Amino acid sequence: MTENITMTERTAMNANTEGAYLRDVGKRLRALTPEQRDAVLDDVRAHFADAADAGRTPEQAAESLGDPAQFTERVRTELGHERGQTDRMRRVLQWLATGVAVFSAMFVSFWHPDDSLPMPNTQFEAHGFGIVLLSLVPALIAALPNFASSRARTVFTAAVAIMLSVVSFTFPEGWAFAPTAWLAWAALVVPVIARNGPPAAGWRIAGGVLAVLPMALGVGGALVGSWGLTLESVLYTAVVAALGVLMALGKPWAGIILAVVGVAALVYSALDPGMLTSGVWWAGGLFITLGASQALMHARPRTPGRM
């Protein structure tokens, strides 16, 4: 630094260091309530002012607080926002994956007609009870990480997501287990996205757009004449599109509704297996995955218990 820096330049530099520090801290404390976050930011602002009065440079003031990552980690620990929150997201998604896998197993064993088999053409009628147990294996795999030690959990979660993806791609009935695989991936990714609090706008918009994707494909197919465009399908599309927008805006209840719509889609396509079964099934799985992930990431943080 040269000696002949003007006063204005110095003020601008000071404001830069402080502003950058404040922005970084604010970003990393999104998991807190707005009141908690504002109070911490006020402390930091006051600290820079105190330090300036004491003749310290903003760099020294920032240094004494520690780097923003370290500082905010301490704040979160003190306020009881450690791993708990994101761990809960992972757990809920993994149990959802397990639940959906059980339903998928019932579907492929009892309800889904396999045209390659002689009548009556379900797997259970053809192969007996063994096939039911076999199709429950993905559910067992999906539940595994919940029993792993906290140290091994991330590795387990990743391994399970990969395994379930392989299952859904390689086995003849694997397509029915794709929603389980997606939920397993969500269990791995969602805690990372939400580690500092509700997801950034980019993630929210991506989630909303993905949610509308199946309906967009449906309408697209109708427009090019692959199938008829009914009033019902237009209504469904409008509802899902609205939910997608609300999800992008960060409304957790929109995610919950979408997940419920997803469950309804799974049940509907299981009980009425028609031409579009796999399409409706996948759309249902996608709705559950996106809806549950979004709702979990936006759930209001619990406030620390009073002493």
Q: Is 69 in the site for another protein (CB under 8 A)?
A: no
Cis status, amide bond into 120, omega within 30 of 0:
yes
CB-based contacts of 15, cutoff 8 Å, min separation 6: none
Give the residue, chosen from 22, 24, 26, 65, that forms a contact with another protein under the rule CB under 8 A.
65
Q: Is the distance from CB of 31 to CB of 72 less than 8 angstroms? A: no
Q: Is 47 in the site for another protein (CB under 8 A)?
A: yes
Q: Is 304 in the site for another protein (CB under 8 A)?
A: yes
Give the residue, chosen from 6, 8, 70, 116, that forms a contact with another protein under the rule CB under 8 A.
70
Q: Is 108 in the site for another protein (CB under 8 A)?
A: no
CB of 22 to another protein, least distance (A): 13
Interface stretch with another protein, choices 47-55, 114-122, 187-195, 210-218 (CB under 8 A): 47-55
Q: Is the distance from CB of 98 to CB of 92 less than 8 angstroms? A: no
Alpha carbon distance 129, 192 (integer Å):
40
Alpha carbon distance 106, 100 (integer Å):
10
DSSP 65-123: H--HHHHHHHHHHHTT-SSHHHHHHHHHHHHHHHHHHHHHHHIIIII---TTSPSS-SH
Interface stretch with another protein, choices 1-9, 71-79, 144-152, 226-234 (CB under 8 A): 71-79
Judging by beta carbons within 10 Å of its beta carbon (0-12, 13-18, 19+), is residue 283 exposed, middle or buried?
buried
Alpha carbon distance 29, 139 (integer Å):
36
CB of 43 to another protein, least distance (A): 5
Give the residue, chosen from 9, 42, 87, 272, that forms a contact with another protein under the rule CB under 8 A.
42
Q: What is the dihedral of CA 111, 112, 115, 117, to 10 degrees?
A: -60
Q: Is 30 in the site for another protein (CB under 8 A)?
A: no
Q: Is 278 in the site for another protein (CB under 8 A)?
A: no
Q: Is 22 in the site for another protein (CB under 8 A)?
A: no
Tell me, what amino acid is at 26?
G
Q: Is 38 in the site for another protein (CB under 8 A)?
A: no
Q: Which of residues 232-261 bind another protein (CB under 8 A)?
A: none
Give the residue, chosen from 13, 17, 22, 36, that forms a contact with another protein under the rule CB under 8 A.
36
Give the residue, chosen from 54, 223, 231, 275, that forms a contact with another protein under the rule CB under 8 A.
54
Give the residue, chosen from 12, 15, 39, 155, that forms a contact with another protein under the rule CB under 8 A.
39
Tell me, what amino acid is at 76?
R
Q: How many residues bind another protein (CB under 8 A)?
A: 29
CB of 192 to another protein, least distance (A): 23
Give the residue, chosen from 9, 43, 59, 87, that forms a contact with another protein under the rule CB under 8 A.
43
Interface stretch with another protein, choices 77-85, 157-165, 177-185, 275-283 (CB under 8 A): 77-85
CA angle at 179 for the pair 173 and 185, rounded to the nearest 5° = 120
Q: Compare residues 18 and 173 and give the one whose CB is closer to another protein.
A: 18
Alpha carbon distance 82, 31 (integer Å):
10
Residues of this chain that bind another protein (CB under 8 A)? 36, 39-40, 42-47, 49-54, 64-66, 70-71, 74-75, 77-79, 303-304, 306-307
